[in-house]
Amino acid sequence: MSNPKSFVVAVAGATGAVGREMLKTLEDRKFPISRLVPLASKRSAGKKLPWKGGEVTIEELGPKSFEGVDIALFSAGASVSREYGPIAAKSGAVVIDNSSAWRMDPDVPLVVPEVNMAAAKNRPKGIIANPNCSTIQMVVALKPLHDAARIKLIIVSTYQATSGKGHEAVEDLLQQSRSVLAGTAVTPAVFPGQIAFNVLCDWKAGEGDYSEEEWKMVHETRKIMGDDSIGVSPTTVRVPVVNGHSEAVHVQFHRPMDAAEAKNLLRNAEGVVLMEEAYAPGKHPQPAHATGTDHVFVGRIRNDLAVPGALDMFVVADNLRKGAALNAVQIAERLFPSPAR
C-alpha cells in the first residue's frame, strides 16, 4: 500500500497557548505532515518547541514564510492574520485562522466541522475562519436540536476560563491567587481587576453596553447556523478557572421540544458526550473533566420551568482544544483526508 499524501503545514503564532496546542493536536491526531513550519515573532525565532519526541526550531514570520506551504494555521492575533493571511493564501496555502480578523467577512466561511463543514468549500479569499471558543462549543451542542425544531431564541451565560485570554492570563490568575492566600495586595498584570476568587467581565466594550465577546456569540452563531433570525442573548463572564469554558444555555424553538427528545438527538451526535444522569451534586459537566479532551460535554438537560417547550442545559469543553486548536485541525483533516486516519 502506498504512503498517504503528506503536507507542509505552517503554524503562525506557534509559541502562544493556542499555537502550542495546535502543534500538540497535529501530533496527537497523526496529521500527515512532511514538513512543519512553526512561525512566531523575531524575538522567538531560533527557540525550540517539542515535536514528535524531539524539537523543532521556530522561524521568524515574514512575507516569504508560506512558500511551498499547503496549510497555514494562524493563531497570532487579528492584526497578524490580516497582514499575513492573504499573503499565505496567495502563496497557495489554505489558511485556517483562529483570530477574529475574518470571521464576519462574507467571503470567508466560518466553520465548525460538526455543524457546517460544507461551507469550507466556498472560500474566495483562500481563508477559513475558526469561530470564537465560546461559540464553537455552544453550536456543536445546539445544531442537532436546531435541525429538528429550529431554534428561535438562545439565552446563554458563560463561565470562561483564563486560558482563553492567553498564557500570561493564566499566570496572572495563579499569581493573584498566591497573593490572596498570602494575605497580600493583589496587583493585576493582565486582567482589569482581581480574577482570583472573583469573576470579571473583562472583554472590550461593544455596542449597546454589550461586550465584544457577547456580540461575537450573536453574529457568529447566526452565520454558522445559517439563520439570521435566531435570537441570541449572551452574558459572558471570566471565572477563576485555568482551562475549560462552561455555559448555561436556555433554548426556545419554533415547535416545542422536551428534554427526552433533546437527549435522543444528542446521544449519538458528532462531537458530543451526553451526560444524561439525573441531577445530583457533582454529577454534571465540569471544566476539570473536559480539559485535555476533544468533545463537547452536555448535561443537565431539563424542561424549562417558565417557558413550555423550551430547554435548559449545561455545556462544557476545553477551550484551547475544541474551542480553538482542535477545531482548526479538524477542518484541515476534512479538507485533506488521509486514508491512514
pLDDT in tens, 244-254: 999 999 999 99
43 vs 58, 59, 60, 147, CA distance in Å? 10, 10, 8, 48
- Residue 291 has what pLDDT? 95
- Please give the pLDDT value at position 4: 56
38-62 as b/e: b if 16+ CB within 10 A: bbbeeebeeeebebeeeebebbebe
Distance between CA 275 and CA 267 in Å, rounded? 9
Beta bridge partners of 157: 235, 248
Residue in this structure with the C-alpha cell 433570525, named with its chain if needed: 229
Does residue 236 have a pLDDT over 80? yes
Query: Which of the residues 167, 219, 245, 254 is marked catalytic?
Result: 245
Q: For the segment 22-52, what is each residue's pLDDT rounded down to a tens digit?
A: 999 999 999 999 999 999 999 999 999 999 9
Give residue-wise pLDDT tens across range 190-215: 999 999 999 999 999 999 999 999 99
**The domain made up of 134-319 is a member of CATH 3.30.1120.130:** no
pLDDT(141) > 60: yes
Q: Is the pLDDT of residue 15 over 50?
A: yes
**Cα–Cα distance between 326 and 332 in angstroms, integer?**
10
Q: What is the Cα–Cα distance from 322 to 193, expressed in whole angstroms?
A: 28
289 is catalytic: no
CATH number for 7-130+324-335: choose from 2.40.160.100, 3.40.1050.10, 3.30.365.10, 3.40.50.720.
Answer: 3.40.50.720
pLDDT at 340: 55
Q: Where are the domains of the chain?
A: 7-130+324-335, 134-319
C-alpha cell at 200: 470579571
How much is the pLDDT for 2? 38
pLDDT in tens, 256-290: 999 999 999 999 999 999 999 999 999 999 999 99
- Check if 133 is active-site: yes
- At residue 3 the predicted structure's pLDDT band, cuts being 50, 70 and 90, is very low
Which entry of 133, 146, 201, 254 is annotated as an active-site residue?
133
pLDDT of residue 1 exceeding 90, the answer is no
5, pLDDT greater than 60: yes
Tens digit of pLDDT for each residue in 75-131? 999 999 999 999 999 999 999 999 999 999 999 999 999 999 999 999 999 999 999
Q: Are 156 and 219 in contact (CB under 8 A)?
A: no
With vertex at residue 113, the alpha carbon angle to CA 112 and CA 115, rounded to the nearest 5 degrees, is 70
| CA–CA distances in Å: residue 70 to residues 79, 125, 319, 335 | 22, 15, 26, 11
Residue type, 218: V
pLDDT at 174 over 70: yes
Helical spans, DSSP H, in the chain:
17-28, 78-90, 113-116, 133-149, 167-182, 212-225, 259-266, 287-290, 326-335
Strands 245-253, 311-317: pairing is antiparallel
**Can you give the pTM of this predicted structure?**
0.93
Identify the residue whose cell numbers are 479532551: 293
Cell 486548536 -> residue: 325
Q: How far is CA 192 from CA 137, 172, 195, 199, in A?
A: 26, 11, 9, 11
Residue 251: per-residue pLDDT? 98
DSSP-derived letter for residue 169 is H
Other beta carbons within 10 angstroms of residue 319's beta carbon come to 30
